[in-house]
Copies of this chain bind each other. A is one copy, B any other.
Amino acid sequence: MAKDKVKPRILTGFMELLPEDQILFNKIYDTIREVYESFGFLPLDTPVIELSEVLLAKAGGETEKQIYRFSKGDNDLALRFDLTVPLARYVAQHSGQLTFPFKRYQMSKVYRGERPQKGRFREFYQCDIDIIGNGELDIAYDAEMPAVIYNVFRKLNFGKFTIRLNNRKVLNGFFESLGLENKVADILRTIDKLDKIGKENVIEELEKLEVGKKEIENIIEFISIEGSTYEKINALRKLNIENEKFNEGVDELEKVSNYMRAFDIDDDYFEIDLTIARGLDYYTGTVYETVLDDYRSLGSVCSGGRYDNLAEYYTNSKLPGIGISIGLTRLFSQLKDAGIIKAERSSLADCLVVPMGIDMSYTLKAAKAVRDAGFVTDVYYADKGMKHKMKYADKLGIPFVAVLGEDEVKTNTAALKNMATGKQISVSIEDIGNEIKKQMGE
C-alpha cells in the first residue's frame, strides 16, 4: 500500500459479502419474501433515519445506549434500531389510509452500536411480519404467524425445526395465582434461562428472588409439564388454577394449537414450551420461538408474539397486533459458520458466450438468443485467448460456455460446452437455450 492511499476497509460488526455469498444470501432473502407475500403481507420501506424524538419515544436503557444518534442542522436524528418502532409510527401516522387488519412485511437493515462480538452485528437485516388490528384482532391470526414460519423454514430447507409456543397470560396468571405478581418479570427472566442453565440453577435463582419453597415447587412442577400438545394443555387444566387470565391463556393456547393443525403444520414441527416468555416487555399473549433441531445452540432463529397496543406512544387508538422477526444477518452468519449452508456458485450466469476473433453481431445474436430463452447470459468481450476466457467461466462457476469461432459463424452454430461434464457439442444458436434446458434436466 502506497503511503498516500487510504486503506480500503469497513467497520467491525458490519457484514459485507463476496459475490458468491451475496448470491446465497439473496436466495434466502428472496425465499422469505416470497412466502411472506404469498400470505398477503404488504411491503413497507420506512426511512433508515428518523427524528430521535419519534424513534426513542418508548426506548430507554440498553437500547438508547446502542443507538446511532447525531445532529444535522437543527435536527436530532437517529438510525432505526428495529422495524417495530417505525411500524408503530407508520400505522399511527397513516391509520386513516390503511385497511385493517393491516398485514405488512419489511425486510430491511437496522442499526445497533453494540460492542461487536461473534454473531452480533451493528448493521443487520430484520425480516419482520406483523398484523395490526384496529381495536381488536382475532386469535386466528396467532396461528397464521407460525403457519408463515412453518412455510418459510420448510422452503429454506435448513433441516428439521421446532416452533415453540407459549402464552403470556398462562405465565402471568399462574404467577398471580401463587401471589407472585410483583416478581413476574424476574421469575420469567429466570425460567427463560432453563435451557441454558438447567433446573438446579433456576431453583437457586428463584430462592435468591425470595420465592417461597412451596411456590418454587409449584413453579418447577409447572415448567416440567411434559407430553404432547394436548397432554400439556390437559395438565395445565388439571392444575385447577382459579385465575381468569390463566384460564383465558390456556384456552388461547388450545385454540392456537388447533388452528395450527388446521394450517397443516406437521405435529412434529411445533410444541408448547411453558418456559418461553420472550424478553420484550410488550408481549401480552401468544409468544413464539423457533429452533433448528440439529443446531439448538444457535438459539431462536425466529421469534415474536402478540402485543396489546402497538402505537401507544403516538396515538390513543388501540392497535393490538402480532408479529415475528427473523434476524437474517445473524442467522446467515451462523448457518455459514456451522456449514449448514454454503455458496454454490460465484455467478448468476447460466451461460457464458465466448467469441473467438469473430464479428460482434454474431456474438450478440447468440447471446440474445440464450437470454431470450430465459437464461442469465454473460459475454466475454475482451480479445483474449481461449484459456483466459475458460478460466473466467470456471472461476465464476458458470455451467455452460458457448464458444463462437469462424466455423460456427459459417454454420450458424455454437460449440456448447458443459463445464461440469466437459462434454462439448455443436448446436444451432437458436437451439442453445433448449440444449441447456435439456442438459440441466439430466
Contacts and interface: CB of A to CB of B under 8 A. Distances in A.
A230 interface: no
Contacts of A113: 72-73
A90 B381 contact: no
Contacts of A365: 262, 264
Interface centre among A51, A137, A314, A364 (most CB of B within 10 A): A364
B73 A70 contact: no
Given A47-B11, A140-B381, A311-B8, A376 B37 contact: yes
A316 B73 contact: no
Interface in A44-73: 44-51, 53-54, 57, 68-73
A9 B376 CA distance: 43
A123 B70 CA distance: 16
Given A38-B371, A72-B68, A8 B54 contact: yes
B54 A6 contact: yes
Given A5-B316, A40-B377, A377-B38, A10 B50 contact: yes
Interface string A270-284: 000000000000000
Given A123-B48, A364-B264, A8 B92 contact: yes
A235 interface: no
Interface in A63-95: 68-73, 75, 77, 79, 88-90, 92-94
A404 to B, nearest CB: 13
A75 B35 CA distance: 39
B5 A315 contact: yes
Interface in A261-312: 261-264, 311
Given A136-B382, A144-B379, A364-B264, A123 B6 contact: no
Interface in A124-140: 133, 136-138, 140
Contacts of A357: none
A26 B49 contact: no
Given A11-B75, A44-B22, A49 B111 contact: yes
A37 to B, nearest CB: 5
Contacts of A363: 262
B47 A14 contact: yes
A2 B376 CA distance: 56
Contacts of A94: 18
A182 interface: no
Interface in A197-232: none
A420 interface: no
B368 A264 contact: yes
A48 to B, nearest CB: 7
Given A9-B93, A11-B50, A348 B40 contact: yes
Interface stretch (A97-105, A167-175, A238-246, A430-438): A97-105
Interface string A21-46: 01101100000000001111111111
A109 interface: yes
Contacts of A313: 5-6
Contacts of A111: 48-49
B316 A141 contact: no
A41 B101 CA distance: 39
A383 interface: yes
B263 A9 contact: no
A392 interface: yes
Interface of A: 1-2, 5-11, 14-19, 22-23, 25-26, 37-51, 53-54, 57, 68-73, 75, 77, 79, 88-90, 92-94, 97-99, 101, 103-104, 109, 111, 113, 122-123, 133, 136-138, 140-141, 144, 258-259, 261-264, 311, 313-316, 346-349, 352, 360-361, 363-365, 368, 371, 376-379, 381-383, 392, 395-396
* 9 nearest A-B pairs in the assembled complex, by CB-CB distance: A40-B378, A70-B70, A140-B381, A8-B93, A262-B361, A8-B92, A19-B42, A8-B314, A40-B349
19 contacts: A1-B315, A2-B316, A8-B54, A8-B88, A8-B314, A10-B51, A10-B93, A11-B50, A19-B43, A19-B98, A19-B104, A40-B378, A48-B111, A49-B68, A49-B123, A68-B72, A70-B71, A103-B378, A262-B364
